[in-house]
């Protein structure tokens, strides 16, 4: 990549970060710094539990990734977890998302896993994880329709979103089966990459169906642990009040949408606080608790990002 191309990318990253920081400052000021600090104090030592749950979730995703590899792969769980955490950090602190996270994982495992196998296993894991996210978001939307009083426009918008999610299944299935007619000549580069990913996924699923289901099970556990994390955080934040499981599921499903839609904003700074704070009163939760929930998640992300950066730094030092 030339320096002429790097400068705009860095400028874009700086603009997204500054915009998110400004939004964060506005949301915090509007909500009330005192209320947010009081909520963080109520969480107290519960933050250690939140950090542990976040680490466990990352470990679960790493385990799902290993199940997307053929049996007998030399990559140990410890190395897979380190690479996954470092890759997640690269995707979180930069505006490039998966374009930064997946190459980082490939790079950190190149001495223990063939590059071709690494790319194929990551393609399979990302596809399975995307399927689990679609299900999680759909569950959240259904719960919103069933439990939250909404205007007609909002209800129809959510119904339209559910229809779009349902329609995405056949479209993805069609893409995975292949849609290119060889009589049209050579495939474009992007379709060639899609075809290779399709063949890798189809071949692995046919050869190791049990491992695919186990990987899906770990992805489901990832979402379940996230809901537990939200439920416990809200319970500490609300003090005398107690959240419901439905509220926790809705908060987490919306958080999945935020992560996908605003991956280009490092740490989703500002966006997470604004959306969660706006969602809270709709779910009969104090807006300050919603904003503080997002702030606590930010602290959790910063902690594990620091660990991920330490892994990357240690790897670079060893190679030097």
* pLDDT tens track for 108-161: 998 888 888 888 899 889 989 998 999 999 999 999 999 988 888 888 989 998
Residue 169's pLDDT is what?
72
Mean pLDDT, residues 93-102 taken together: 83
CA dist 278 and 55 (Å) reads 28
User: Looking up tokens 């596809």, which residue turns up?
Assistant: 127
Pick from 91, 127, 92: nearest CA to 106: 91
Distance from chain centroid for Cα 278? 21
Residue 1 lies in a domain: no
Residue 38 lies in a domain: yes
Q: Which residues contact 99 (CB under 8 A, 6 or more apart)?
A: none
- Tell which wins on pLDDT, 30 or 194: 30
Residue 10 lies in a domain: no
CA dist 283 and 303 (Å) reads 29
Characterize 133-150 residue by residue with b for buried, 16 or more Cβ atoms within 10 angstroms of its Cβ, and e for exposed.
Answer: bbbbbebbbebbeeebee
| Number of Cβ within a 10 Å radius of residue 11 | 10
pLDDT grade, residue 319 (50/70/90)? low
Residue 36 lies in a domain: yes
Residue 8 lies in a domain: no
CA dist 240 and 276 (Å) reads 21
Lowest mean pLDDT among 80-84, 92-96, 310-314: 92-96
CA dist 79 and 83 (Å) reads 6
Residue 17's pLDDT is what?
74
Tokens for 254, please give them.
């919306």
Residue 231's pLDDT is what?
96
CA dist 73 and 29 (Å) reads 51
Residue 221 lies in a domain: yes
Distance from chain centroid for Cα 102? 13
CA dist 225 and 169 (Å) reads 25
Residue 204's pLDDT is what?
81
| pLDDT, tens digit, 9 for 90 and up, residues 47-92 | 999 999 999 999 999 999 999 998 888 889 999 999 999 999 998 8
Residue 260's pLDDT is what?
87
Q: Which residues contact 123 (CB under 8 A, 6 or more apart)?
A: 197, 200, 201
Residue 143 lies in a domain: yes
| pLDDT, tens digit, 9 for 90 and up, residues 184-235 | 766 677 667 767 777 777 778 788 888 999 999 999 999 999 999 999 999 9
Q: Do 218 and 80 contact (CB within 8 A), yes or no?
A: no
Segments forming the whole domain that contains residue 119: 15-319
Dmax of the chain from CA atoms? 68
CA dist 63 and 57 (Å) reads 10
CA dist 65 and 58 (Å) reads 11
**19 has pLDDT over 50:** yes
CA dist 117 and 204 (Å) reads 11
What is the rounded radius of gyration, in angstroms, for the C-alpha atoms of the chain? 21
| pLDDT, tens digit, 9 for 90 and up, residues 251-309 | 999 999 998 888 888 888 888 999 999 999 999 999 999 999 999 999 999 999 999 99
Pick from 262, 254, 265, 204: nearest CA to 227: 254
pLDDT grade, residue 4 (50/70/90)? very low
Domain count, the chain: 1
Residue 25's pLDDT is what?
86
pLDDT grade, residue 2 (50/70/90)? very low
Backbone angles phi, psi at 160, to 5 degrees: -60, -40
Residue 5 lies in a domain: no
- Tell which wins on pLDDT, 176 or 89: 89
Residue 240's pLDDT is what?
67
């Amino acid at each position: 990549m030339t320096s002429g191309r790097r400068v705009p990318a860095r400028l874009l990253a700086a603009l997204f970060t500054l915009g998110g920081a400004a939004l964060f400052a506005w949301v915090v000021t509007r909500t009330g710094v005192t209320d947010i600090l009081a909520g963080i104090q109520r969480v107290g030592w519960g933050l250690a539990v939140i950090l542990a749950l976040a680490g466990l979730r990352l470990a679960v995703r790493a385990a799902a990734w290993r199940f997307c590899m053929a049996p007998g792969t030399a990559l140990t769980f410890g190395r897979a977890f380190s690479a996954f955490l470092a890759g997640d950090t690269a995707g979180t602190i930069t505006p490039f998302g998966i374009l930064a996270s997946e190459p980082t994982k490939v790079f950190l495992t190149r001495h223990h896993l063939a590059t071709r196998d690494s790319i194929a296993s990551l393609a399979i894991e990302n596809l399975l994880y995307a399927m689990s996210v679609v299900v999680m978001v759909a569950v959240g939307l259904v719960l919103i329709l069933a439990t939250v009083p909404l205007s007609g426009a909002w209800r129809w918008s959510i119904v339209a979103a559910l229809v779009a999610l349902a329609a995405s299944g056949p479209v993805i299935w069609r893409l995975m089966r292949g849609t290119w007619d060889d009589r049209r000549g050579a495939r474009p580069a992007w379709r060639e990459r899609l075809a290779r990913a399709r063949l890798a996924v189809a071949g692995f699923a046919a050869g190791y169906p049990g491992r695919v289901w186990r990987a899906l099970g770990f992805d489901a556990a990832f979402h379940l642990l996230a809901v537990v994390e939200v439920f416990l955080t809200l319970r500490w934040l609300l003090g005398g009040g107690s959240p419901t499981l439905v509220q926790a599921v809705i908060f987490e499903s919306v958080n999945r949408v935020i992560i996908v839609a605003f991956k280009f904003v490092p740490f989703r700074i500002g966006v997470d606080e604004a959306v969660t704070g706006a969602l809270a009163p709709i779910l009969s939760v104090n807006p300050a608790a919603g904003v503080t929930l997002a702030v606590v998640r930010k602290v959790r992300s910063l902690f594990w990002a620091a660990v991920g950066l330490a892994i990357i730094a240690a790897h670079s030092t060893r190679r030097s």
